[in-house]
Structure 1
Amino acid sequence: MASCSRIIGLVRNTAPLHNYTRFSLTQFRGFRTTAIMSEEQIEELKQNPYYSKYADKIAKLQNTSPEEFLGRLSAHDERKKAVAAAAPENQRDFSFPGRPMPKMSADTSGEKSLEKIMKVDLLRDKTPEEITEIWTKFFAKQEKICAVIPAETYKIMQQRFSEFKTFLFPIPRKNGYEFVMVQFLNNEAHFTTLINFQAHKENAPECLGMVHYTELMEDKGIVLMVGEYDKDTLGEGEAHLLAIQTLRYFGQNNDKLLNHLYRFTYDITDFNHLDLIAQLESDFPQSVLPAGPA
């Protein structure tokens, strides 16, 4: 079921980011591993279709940081067991790299049109409240999230999308938090898990894509948003939480949130990922944070 609400109110240099994120993700995973791989683990690893491609990197990691290597392998085993046991979805674990997206040609980045979803002319004589109801009902039975955003709020968001083109958001996971990277392109927001970005860079698969339709921005004073998420990576609640964080950081006049954006973009050495987690826990009590899909 869609989650729709009326809201009131390319990639940067990642060398420093890569170093700190590797630390933060492994820290929150809470790995507990043995010092030796079993023969079964070694054989299973070699059967992985990506083994030959990354064999050198795997060997290097195994030699230079065996605990981290074993930790990743152990977490992978835990994920497989969880899937096999049909673990409850509200205990979603950390993500692992997926398959890269195919490279897109240069002529596929055109603006999305609201006309392809519904007839815009039929909305011209409707009030913003009526359009909100129509938009909500349209996605009610689809596995998507949607929202109706006031034009004045979205104007702020547009300006910040342009200045702060990339950012991170935390989402709660079974044993801590996982970070999701977002990149803005015109009126679109493209989300991918940080570990996928580190593995595939610009070809990282999306876990959430949001489009903001501005056709009614001037005469109706609203912007229509719809987001489609990868159900293997996110639940509806987690997708909705990412949308809400996007609104708060990019659409509200909050100096503290703006400072997070500024440090991430202009002063990465002063940026601390733990500040984002603290901010999330402050904004949303733990009891209402989604632990997984609805």
Structure 2
Amino acid sequence: MAIAIRQSINSLRAIRVQSVFIHRGISMSAKLRAEEAIEEMKKKNPYYEKYASKIAALQQTSPDEFLNRLESVGKKSPPKKMEKERNYSELLNPKKPLDGKSADEVPFKKLNDIMKLDLLQDKTADEIKDIWLQYHKEKDVLVATIPTETYKLLEQRSKEHPIFLLPLPRSQGFEFFLLQFASNTVHFTPLLCYQVHKENAPECLSVVHYTEFSEKLGTVLMRGEFDSNVINAQEAQCLVNQLQLYYSQNILTKLELLKKFTHEPDNFKHMDIINELENLSIK
């Protein structure tokens, strides 16, 4: 609170200082300001020479009217577009209902919904990998191919630990994201949003595992879509990498954290997962 008060005081001081300069500007005579406006028009307006005599006459006979006309023209100029900023406010709104379906009835997503399976028939695992990566080359998504055995480990572990918490580095610390498995999809949402909306919290990243070729060719196709208003591609990749480390590999410290979060929540410490991230290594 003390910091906020000091910031408010500093803001008031800045406003007061600015007001001094504004009032000093108003005390300048209309004639002198008109002359300065003329000099500015000579530099910026290519049509000044054509209307120089009329402009000069108006400026000499009625400097106030000249300034008023100049100001009205300036107001008609189209405003400059503001650079788009990352917007987190949308996350404070709950997601739209799933057409009457509950969260437990999320359908199994199929590969045929996003691309023609005819392109992948009679192809080898390596050919499918190349087609999958090429298909998404110009799309703003995360993609990968995963060996079936690796995915089976992830699937098994997700049944034991369907919900977990992952940290993401921010400029002033870390932000926590809650992940939840549902069908063949992993949903990520900022912890803050989950605390507000529970199961209706909007997701910022969804990772889908397509298993159509898992038995035949021993490969699973992964695709991750993220909300660029909340996280960028690098941040989404960081979350997916951590997902892999906790659910698809046998790293003792990470397995212990999964167990604590699921079975011993009172003993789970947020700093432990931050330490794991800071010592990140893919084995």
Please tell me whether residue 120 in structure 1 is matched to residue 117 in structure 2: yes
Stretch of structure 1 that moved more, 141-150 or 113-122:
113-122
Q: 1:184 to 1:171 in 2, by over 3 A?
A: same
- TM-score normalised per structure 1: 0.65
RMSD, aligned α-carbons: 2.8
Q: Write the distance in 1 (CA, Å) between the matches of 2:152 and 2:115.
A: 23
Residue 224 of structure 2 aligns to a residue whose secondary structure is strand
Correspondence for 1:257: 254
Please tell me whether residue 221 in structure 1 is matched to residue 218 in structure 2: yes
Runs (4+) off by over 6 Å: 35-38, 92-96
Q: Write the distance in 2 (CA, Å) between the matches of 1:120 and 1:94.
A: 37
**Is contact 2:88–2:229 with CA below 8 Å preserved after alignment?**
no
* Identity, % of aligned positions: 41
Q: 1:95 to 1:267 in 2, by over 3 A?
A: farther
What is the 5 A alignment of 1:27-46?
32-34=3-5
Q: Write the distance in 2 (CA, Å) between the matches of 1:211 and 1:231.
A: 18
- Deviation at 1:187? 1.1
- Deviation at 1:118? 2.3
Please tell me whether residue 102 in structure 1 is matched to residue 96 in structure 2: yes
1:101 is matched by which residue type in structure 2?
K
Correspondence for 1:166: 163
What is the 5 A alignment of 1:154-233?
154-233=151-230
- TM-score normalised per structure 2: 0.67
Q: Write the distance in 2 (CA, Å) between the matches of 1:34 and 1:284.
A: 43
Q: Which deviations, in whole Å up to 9, do the C-alpha atoms of 1:93-117 show, x marking residues without a partner?
A: 9888421112222286221111122
Correspondence for 1:276: 273
Greater RCO (Cα-Cα under 8 Å, separation 6 or more): 1
Aligned residues: 208
Please tell me whether residue 248 in structure 1 is matched to residue 245 in structure 2: yes
- Deviation at 1:37? 7.9
Q: Write the distance in 1 (CA, Å) between the matches of 2:87 and 2:237.
A: 18
- State which structure, 1 or 2, has the greater radius of gyration over its C-alpha atoms: 2
Residue 125 of structure 1 aligns to a residue whose secondary structure is coil
**Is contact 1:94–1:173 with CA below 8 Å preserved after alignment?**
no
Stretch of structure 1 that moved more, 113-122 or 258-267:
113-122
